């Protein structure tokens, strides 16, 4: 009846956080190919189409892994990029503070004008916008 070791990684079917059903691929510990689920006489089993490996499923198999969101990088360089920039008389569209910090970056092709990025000088606001 093949190798008695359990299949490598995962489960055949699991519920995702959104309520849907997701399938996970299991691999044969003998040859490394994907396993299929077959209906046996007494229970379901994982079987390999390439080698004689078979593993009877005698209990519920689950393995839950939820993805972790990556931290989003600040494309303007974060707080350090705003440390030594100049300010100008540009009113904030959010809090109407009369001054804003600004920096200019070439975001498009060289024949296009530079993009001006603003940050409100009001420490409680800190709103960012571009021109």
Is position 121 annotated in a ligand binding site? no
Is position 43 annotated in a ligand binding site? no
Is position 95 annotated in a ligand binding site? yes
Q: How many CB atoms lie within 10 A of CB 66?
A: 6
| Rounded Cα distance, 75 and 115, in Å | 13
| Rounded Cα distance, 46 and 23, in Å | 14
| Rounded Cα distance, 94 and 118, in Å | 12
For residue 115, the surrounding DSSP H or E stretch is strand 115-120
Name the binding residues. 28, 31, 48, 51, 92, 95, 120, 125
Known binding residues for Zn(2+) are: 28, 31, 48, 51, 92, 95, 120, 125
């Amino acid at each position: 009846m093949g190798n008695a070791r359990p299949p490598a990684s995962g489960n055949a079917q699991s519920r995702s956080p959104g309520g849907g059903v997701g399938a996970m691929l299991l691999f044969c510990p003998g040859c490394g190919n994907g396993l299929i689920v077959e209906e046996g006489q007494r229970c379901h089993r994982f079987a390999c189409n390439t080698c004689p490996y078979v593993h009877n499923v005698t209990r519920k198999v689950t393995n839950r892994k939820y993805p972790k969101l990556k931290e989003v990088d600040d494309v303007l360089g974060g707080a350090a990029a705003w440390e030594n920039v100049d300010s100008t008389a540009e009113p904030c569209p959010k809090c109407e503070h009369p001054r804003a910090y600004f920096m200019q970056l070439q975001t498009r092709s060289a024949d296009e004008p530079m993009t001006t990025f603003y940050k409100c000088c009001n420490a409680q606001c800190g709103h960012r916008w571009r021109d």
